[in-house]
Amino acid sequence: MNLVPEPSTSQIREALNFSRFRFKLLEFLKLPLDIREPALREVLERTCSGVYGNYLARAERIEKILRAEDTLESQDTLESEDTLKMHFRIPPAADQRQSESRV
């Protein structure tokens, strides 16, 4: 049972647009592509306060989308594991007989 809806097409598009926006900021500010998020936010806050506010708002929306996606993936994993256990459980007695016949 899924309680968390999958990300919509518009949410996925928003995440991709944010990724492009972040990349263009890094290029424009001549920052390394592997800069850590706290350092990028600090640079934006010091140099471009308007862009910083926009960046924070967009980043927060993306974080919510990613958290929802992580929740879905962990639910799917749990459901898959439960399904495997349910369909492929070997009764203990049969398992013991198989190991004894191999000896």
pLDDT in tens, 12-30: 899 899 999 999 999 999 9
- Helices 49-87 and 9-28: crossing angle, nearest 10°? 130
62 is written with which tokens?
A: 């993306």
pLDDT in tens, 45-102: 999 889 999 999 999 988 888 887 766 665 555 555 555 454 444 445 544 545 555 5
Cα–Cα distance for residue pair 53/58, rounded to 1 Å: 9
Listed in sequence order, the residues at least 6 apart from 2 whose beta carbon sits closer than 8 Å to its beta carbon are: 72, 75
89 is written with which tokens?
A: 């459980």
Q: Which residue has the higher pLDDT, 102 or 38?
A: 38
User: Sign (positive/negative) of CA torsion 66, 70, 71, 76?
Assistant: positive
